Amino acid sequence: MNSDTADIDLYDPDRYVAAAPHEAFARARAAHGLWFQETPDGGGYWAVLRHADVIEVSRSPLVFSAALGGVVIEDLDQQSLEMMRNMLLAMDPPAHIDHRKNVSPHFRAKVIAGLEPRIREISRTIIGDALDRDVDFVHEVTALLPAQVMGELMGLPREDWTKIHSWSERNSGAQDPDINPDEAGSGTSASVEMAMYAIELARQRRAEPTEDLTSLILASEVDGEAMTDIAFGSFFVQLVTAGNDTTRTMLSSGLQALLLHEDQLAVLRRDASPFRRRSKRFFAGPTRCTTSAAQPQPIPRSATIRSRRATRWRCTTPPPTATRPSSPTRTDSTSPDIRTLI
């Protein structure tokens, strides 16, 4: 680290309040591409900031493990780490593939297309309730959608959708004292409550099967063994929490991008058809992954990093600078480049 980069801090949440610190990311990327960020507890992690490097990490699960140290930046105690390893997000192949294949057919494009009318109805209801009043768009609009869609898919009673929303918010915002005032820094209580709810749901569905995703998952196998009620409880927590985190982030980031780039908002208002074809890439938004180095490994254009303990890696969504025609922080809804980022 030199004097030109000494003030860069990619960890401090306060630096993200006004806007994403693009300038800090750009400087760190230009200086190293691979940035070691210290944390207040005396630890730290490596931030992977170049597009090609992120692709390399994401395609090398035997080198960069989701299971070894978990998928959060902070070091976990052994009990918490073992619990996390039961989550799909914290599994490496082949376990990840075996668990995912049980539900992936139910989320294919054709299946979701059949649900589109109902999802549109849910979306219109949420937006309608938010009109003509001040709302917290992140928590009162975008976070409601995945909870209610998941309730529809899983066949949950409508009166339970509010509980699903609350649990998923507490899990996704575990470190936010406004969401988790009683257990800031941990979503353990919400996870346990949601898992217990799902275990009871499994018991009811086994007695009275229905044609919904819950019954289909309960009838599936993992590693050649039938899905147990406890395993279903864990899987339910993952589905609901992941749906909340990704959808909330995607929609919130998309709206923010439109508000910051009024020319693109004007394009959308004039003609939404091109936007619909590109909505998935346009709303890609800020994504991130956290892995641990399973073995010493050189990253492209970086030095080999060796450690006797798990080395934490944090990936962010940098631009493919060699091929991208415009600024990496510029929103362009008309770009043909699938790697267009917000």
Q: pLDDT tens digit string along 83-114?
A: 777 777 778 888 777 777 766 776 777 777 88
Tokens of 265: 């908002």
Contacts of 123 (CB under 8 A, 6+ apart): 145
How many Å apart are CA 178 and CA 176, to the nearest integer? 5
Q: What is the pLDDT of residue 308?
A: 32
Q: Where in the chain is the domain with CATH 1.10.630.10?
A: 101-260
Q: What is the bridge-based pairing of β-strands 225-226 and 221-222?
A: antiparallel
- Band of residue 224 on the pLDDT scale cut at 50, 70, 90: confident
Quick: pLDDT tens for 235-267. Answer: 898 888 888 888 888 888 888 888 888 888 888
Least confident interval from 90-94, 203-207, 310-314: 310-314
124 pLDDT band, cuts 50/70/90, is very high
**CATH fold label, 101-260:** Cytochrome p450 (1.10.630)
Q: Tokens 């346990």 label which residue?
A: 192
Q: Which of 38-47, 67-76, 150-159, 194-203 has the lowest mean pLDDT?
A: 67-76
Pairwise CA distance, residues 321 & 50, whole Å: 8
- Which phi and psi (to 5°) does residue 241 adopt? -70, -45
Averaged confidence pLDDT in the chain: 76
1-94+286-342 fold: 3.30.43
Q: Residue 146 above 60 pLDDT?
A: yes
Pairing between strand 34-38 and 44-48?
A: antiparallel
Indicate the pLDDT class of residue 122, thresholds 50, 70 and 90.
Answer: very high
Q: What is residue 202's predicted lDDT score, i.e. its pLDDT?
A: 95
Which of 71-85, 268-282, 297-311 comes out lowest in average pLDDT?
Answer: 297-311
The residues of the chain that CATH labels 3.30.43.20 are: 1-94+286-342
